[in-house]
Amino acid sequence: MRPLDRAALLHSAEQLTGLSLAEIAQQLGLSVPENLRRDKGWIGQLLELALGASAGSKPEQDFPELGVELKTIPVDERGKPLETTFVSVAPLTGISGLRWQDSNVRNKLSCVLWIPIIGTRQTPPGERIVGPPLWWQPTAEEEQLLRQDWEEIMELISLGQIQTLSARHGQVLQLRPKAANSKALTEAVGAQGQPIMTLPRGFYLKTGFTAALLARHFMI
């Protein structure tokens, strides 16, 4: 079931366009949750299964052999994103010398197959509709924006300033909590260079950024 190349993956994704998530779940023999409160990752995992992505929670792309990352993104009927997009967990220790070129963020975003999922928060998951898939590779301008935000955020983290970092930093990429709850802690570096315990964080794409890239593709 795993696609042999990018063309096969795209073809599979195109076959899903217009289907409801309930139809896809039925084909796969899966039950559909009433809402996503306790199944926040259900849509992403449904599409991974439908498209043959490698399972697991490794910090890699979904299709390493194709160099492709798969991302579902909830959008309204006009294609506007309803949520920010999680990219990857942020490293908080041992990051001296880490360059953008070698970062997980850059690796994950180097080539993305976006699958828009049309609906609203009020739309039952099963009734949401798969939109047309689209390939995306950052333009030079987009990569520059991502790189700038990443470098600024990572520098603050390395300087022991993580406790001053909020989701307001960054133009297109932001840092936010990424944990089971507010009691989950992980090691980081404090203002005096000492080890401290803090909330795990993740990098997220802001909606303005994803809205622009989706709009660009829908116009073409």
Partner DNA sequence: CCGTGATCATTA
Partner DNA sequence: TAATGATCACGG
- Shortest distance in whole angstroms from residue 38 CB to DNA: 4
Q: Which of 9, 50, 51, 88 binds DNA (CB under 7 A)?
A: 88
> CA-to-CA distance for 47 and 49, rounded, in angstroms?
5
- Name which of 18 and 64 has its Cβ closer to DNA: 64
Report the site for DNA in 59-78 (rule: CB under 7 A).
59-60, 62, 69-74
- 114-143 binders of DNA (CB under 7 A): 117, 121
What x/- string results for residues 21 through 60 when contact with DNA is judged by CB under 7 A?
A: --------------xxxxxxx-xxx-xx-------xxxxx
Q: Binding to DNA by residue 185, rule CB under 7 A? A: yes
Shortest Cβ distance from residue 20 to DNA (Å)?
Answer: 15
Does 164 engage in binding with DNA (CB under 7 A)? Answer: no
Q: How far is the CB of 156 from DNA (least distance, A)?
A: 13
Under the rule (CB under 7 A), what is the footprint of DNA? 35-41, 43-45, 47-48, 56-60, 62, 69-74, 82-86, 88-89, 91, 104, 108, 117, 121, 166-168, 174, 176-187, 199-200, 202, 204, 206-208
